[in-house]
Amino acid sequence: MKLLAIGRPREGADVHEIGRYAREEMAALWQLYRDGAVREMHSPGRPGAVLVFEATGPQDAEAAVAGLPLTAAGLIVLELIELHPFSAFEVLFADRARPGARREGQEAI
């Protein structure tokens, strides 16, 4: 299962305090990446991070996030969003899936 983790500095968090954890945080992220738990890492273009987790369940991703130094120190907040396959394209093919379905200008078979 894929999960999106959006990390932002906690409101009122001291930027200098966050900076003191930078090396430790990067080492922890590198380990999660090497272990295959984190598949992608992105910058949102401002302080924070966007991570894509691959996990057997949300609990695994939550445990990994809780173990990150900045999260453990209470300096960042991470929102986890469970990702599901995008299925909205099904509306384009819905009439093909039903036997005898009519298309515009055609009679039912």
Residue 95 lies in a domain: no
Within-domain flag for 93: no
The count of structural domains within the chain is: 1
pLDDT in tens, 23-79: 999 999 999 999 999 999 999 999 999 999 999 999 999 999 999 999 999 999 999
CA 15, CA 7: separation in Å to the nearest integer?
14
CA distance 35 to 38: 8
Confidence of residue 100 (pLDDT cuts 50, 70, 90): low
Instruction: Please indicate, yes or no, if residue 96 is contained in any of the structural domains.
Output: no
**Domain CATH code at residue 74:** 3.30.70.1060
The range of the structural domain enclosing residue 44 comes to 2-83
pLDDT at 97: 58
Kind and range of the H or E run holding 54? strand 49-54
The verdict on residue 25 lying in a domain is yes
pLDDT band per the 50, 70, 90 thresholds, residue 94: confident
